[in-house]
Chain A
Amino acid sequence: MKIDKMSFEESIKKLEEIVKELEDENISLEESMEKFELGIKLSSNCLKKLNEAEGRIEELTRSEDGKLVTKELDLDKDS
């Protein structure tokens, strides 16, 4: 699976696995380097996903014709 298609959960889980694998002393240097490289890519994907979401608060209602619509909600103004 392409790393940028992986969810945050999948990425961090895989990253944790890689760290565990690197702890194995029998792993070859070449393999270690490959895993290290993958690990770095996964961690940057995790950070990317963390910042990807857009901060928004919306209210879900139904329009007159019954369709689901959202509108921005400012609770501080209301209260």
Chain B
Amino acid sequence: MATLCKNCSHALVFDPARQKLVCSACGSTFFPEEVESEAKAYREDLDAESVNKINGTDDKDLMDCYVYTCSECGGEIIVNGTEASTTCVYCGNPNVVFSRIAKQKCPEFVLPFSITKEKAIEIVRDRVRSGMFIPDEIKDFTVDCCRGIYLPYWIVNADFHDAVVIRGEVKQGKSSVTRYFGRAGSMKLKNLPLDASRALSDESSAKLEPFVLKGLREFDEDYLAGFYSNVSDVTYSDLRSAAMLRAQEFFNDAAINDVSASAKKVISSMPSLKLDNDMVYAMLPTWFISFKYKGKHNTLLVNGDTGKVVGALPWRKALFFTLLIGLGLLVTVACFVVFKATLPAFFSGRHSSSNSKAKGTIIALLVTGIITLFSTGIRKVVRVIKNIKLTQDKAMFNFMKKRQG
């Protein structure tokens, strides 16, 4: 299953730094396209045995697990139903698994890793060290597990049409009134990558974007050597839903920007989307880096091509609230002094109707400003907390961790 070196028959591994297959024994390098390997033909004829069959059990947890034999050492390789490449737990050699990547399931393109494991960890460390509210233990984190995984994506083109109604506030004289705006239009999405792995949340995978698709190369399984990979396991319905969600985000954003009003919100819509059936199946690279903090696994993702780091980390709550309350008290005292000095004059002025309206406007602006400050700040904190939950998500950790090697 491993592609072997022509010079010494040692297993080759793809090196992102050199973009070549490298033999760690003799140092020979080869371009993946150049390697004519018997292993490629052999992979299509590999035999698989289900774990349940071997054990004589009917365990539902093992229903999707299959056993292969390592071509190097003869050890058992256990993969789940969607894994396409893995590492032998006994000899450490890379193994590309069977006909999962043959024929119909074969991706057309692969975006090879251009960031090495060491570089990915360094990028994460640099980013984490600069975080003001990141605990010191995390700044010096010890990597629990780091895996390069090729994620399956369908790169789609789609036609989208929508009619939306937007509610917004418009100024009319000195007051504002609620207005309704209608927008109907269409757009064409081109080369939108959609995650084709059910095990990984769409939210996490979408944040790995953008991928520089110009770097896609014709698929060759030798690019998978030394990395893990999964094959597509989504249905057309899953893909349409994911494309629809993304298209609606783009459309609603454009429609809202097209309306001149404040406090705008889409209140009704009728979207329709058609996927081009001629989709492109590609494998895109991601590093999964996990570490433990206070008994919880945190898994950060790094785009294996651009180096974009995705994830949110636990925060120093004591420091955050101390600073927040401290600054809050300082500004409160300063504002109190100012208000105390100005409010008597503000309220004791002449009581003409125009004067009262001006005062009312100032008070309304002040109250609106206070509400906006609170809501914006709280929204940002809530967003961080939500993303921390995603980083500590057990499903994502298991997706990365529950692999051999």
* Chains A and B come from one and the same complex: no
